[in-house]
Amino acid sequence: MSQKLGKHLVEKNVVSADQIRAANENAVLHGGTLAESLFELGFIDDAALAKFISSDLDVGFVSDDLLGLIDPEMIQIIPADIADELHVMPIEFSNGVLEIAVSDPFDQRIA
């Protein structure tokens, strides 16, 4: 995830600036994203981060429980290799608009 996310997490006192620095160093040394490093180092769990992002960006939050209820035909809308690469999942298609769940709303590849 982006540095913008790290800044927001610190501003909202979810994690400290030192924790962001440590997570960034971990991401550089071992690969992966800021979020993955925050998880690995135990600074935040994925549900807390997802809820924070949802609230901060004023977008919906889809829990793991709700993901399990998605119509299997809906999942076929996005080819599996693209969904895996971009970490996205189609949620609903209505009136010509596809609503998707994303793991990283800061990912510039998703528009």
- Indicate the pLDDT class of residue 70, thresholds 50, 70 and 90: confident
Alpha-carbon torsion, ordered 17, 4, 48, 23, to 10 deg: -50
Backbone angles phi, psi at 60, to 5 degrees: -70, 155
Q: How large is the average pLDDT for residues 47-65?
A: 83
* Single-letter code of the amino acid located at 51: K
* 18-54: pLDDT as tens digits: 999 999 999 999 988 888 899 999 999 888 888 888 8
Of 41-45, 90-94, 104-108, which gets the smallest average pLDDT?
A: 104-108
Return the percentage of the chain with pLDDT > 70, whole number.
Answer: 97
Nearest Cα to Cα of residue 50 among 104, 96, 111, 93: 104
**Please, are residues 40 and 27 in contact by the beta-carbon 8 Å criterion?**
no
Q: What is the pTM of this model?
A: 0.63
Q: What is the pLDDT of residue 2?
A: 61
How confident is the prediction for the chain on average, in pLDDT? 88
Q: H helices within 31-94, ranges in order?
A: 34-40, 46-57, 64-67, 72-75, 80-86
Asked if pLDDT for residue 1 goes beyond 60, the answer is no
